């Protein structure tokens, strides 16, 4: 006998429907009001779809050599960017990032957020036109919900499978060319060049006809995702069926059983 299953997603759309929920999603410590107003004020000065969001999740880290390549690729691109970074003290990444931050802040081209970032709020801002991601499942789903195409940079776990879904099946992503699977707490030996990173960014944000079609597909998926949780949508109907199933199961267990032997 098969096991019943109910597709209820995207769960983040159920759970994070107001601004306070979106701001707190994944937060581990209180962010200062001044810091939040800083990135939001900066982002609101940028044109629609002009900013690239760059984040590799809270568990991932890069050696200084890779941070340098990412930094040069972002600074050399035509796009504004928000980069969520972790300072890798053991690799000496701090000094490069601090000088990099001074330059891009002064030019107005970029904004660095150190540590945790309110990703849902950032992705929904009209200025965001795409993102560079490690292809963690939460981020993939949140990107689809927001209708954003992705530069894919898988690192470990199921990331490479998620990349295949985004790039080859949904066709809303451009691969950066990462090939090496690694353990989550290790740097690995692969360093993706600034040239390869820059090409992927240009392909995503360059405004070519194929880029426009990719963006249209992402927007269409966003519409379908939001439709699924509304009354009459597939996820809405499935959760009602799940509740009914649980109710029936409870009633069946409450019924007395005749265990007498004759």
Taking only the tens place, the pLDDT of each residue in 138-162 is 999 999 999 999 999 999 999 999 9
Q: What is the mean pLDDT of residues 93-104?
A: 88
Please state which of the ranges 4-13, 82-91, 112-121, 183-192 shows the lowest mean pLDDT.
82-91
Domain containing 92: what range? 33-248
Residue 166 lies in a domain: yes
1 inside domain: no
Looking at residue 89, what is its pLDDT?
A: 44
Model confidence, pTM: 0.84
Would 257 be classed as within a structural domain?
no
Instruction: Report yes or no on 11 lying in a domain.
Output: no
Tell me whether residue 41 is in a domain: yes
Residue 3 lies in a domain: no
CATH number at residue 159: 3.40.50.2000
Q: How many independent structural domains does the chain possess?
A: 1
Longest Cα–Cα distance of the chain, Å, equals 89
| Residue 256 covered by a domain | no
| Long-range pairs for 144-148: beta carbons < 8 A, 24 or more residues apart | 144/10, 144/170, 144/172, 144/218, 144/221, 144/222, 144/225, 145/10, 145/12, 145/13, 145/222, 145/225, 145/226, 146/222, 147/215, 147/218, 147/219, 147/221, 147/222, 147/223, 148/53, 148/123, 148/218
14/128 Cα distance (integer angstroms): 22
Of the two residues 206 and 149, the one the predictor is more confident about is: 149
Give the least confident one: 97-111, 148-162, 236-250: 236-250
In a domain, 27, yes or no: no
Q: Report how many helices (DSSP H) and strands (DSSP E) the chain contains, helices first.
A: 11, 6
């Amino acid at each position: 006998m098969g096991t019943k299953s109910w597709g209820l997603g995207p769960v983040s759309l159920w759970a994070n429907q107001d601004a306070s929920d979106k701001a707190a999603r994944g937060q581990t410590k209180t962010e200062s009001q001044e810091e939040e107003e800083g990135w939001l004020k900066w982002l609101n000065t940028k044109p629609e779809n002009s900013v690239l969001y760059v984040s590799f999740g809270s568990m991932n880290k890069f050696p200084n050599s890779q941070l340098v390549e990412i930094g040069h690729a972002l600074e050399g691109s035509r796009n504004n960017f928000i980069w969520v970074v972790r300072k890798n003290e053991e690799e000496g990444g701090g000094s490069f990032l601090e000088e990099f931050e001074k330059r891009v802040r002064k030019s107005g081209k970029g904004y660095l957020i150190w540590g945790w970032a309110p990703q849902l709020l950032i992705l929904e801002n009209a200025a965001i036109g795409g993102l560079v991601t490690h292809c963690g499942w939460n981020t993939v789903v949140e990107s689809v919900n927001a209708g954003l195409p992705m530069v894919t940079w898988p690192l470990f776990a199921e990331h490479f499978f998620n990349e295949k879904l985004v790039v080859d099946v949904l066709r809303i992503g451009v691969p950066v060319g990462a090939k090496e699977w690694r353990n989550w707490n290790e740097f690995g030996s692969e360093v993706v060049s600034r040239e390869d990173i820059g090409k992927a960014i240009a392909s995503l944000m360059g405004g070519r006809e194929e880029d426009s079609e990719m963006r249209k597909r992402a927007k269409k998926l966003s519409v379908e995702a939001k439709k699924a949780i509304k009354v009459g949508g597939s996820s809405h109907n499935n959760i009602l069926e799940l509740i009914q199933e649980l109710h029936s199961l409870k009633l069946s267990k409450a019924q007395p059983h005749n265990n007498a032997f004759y």
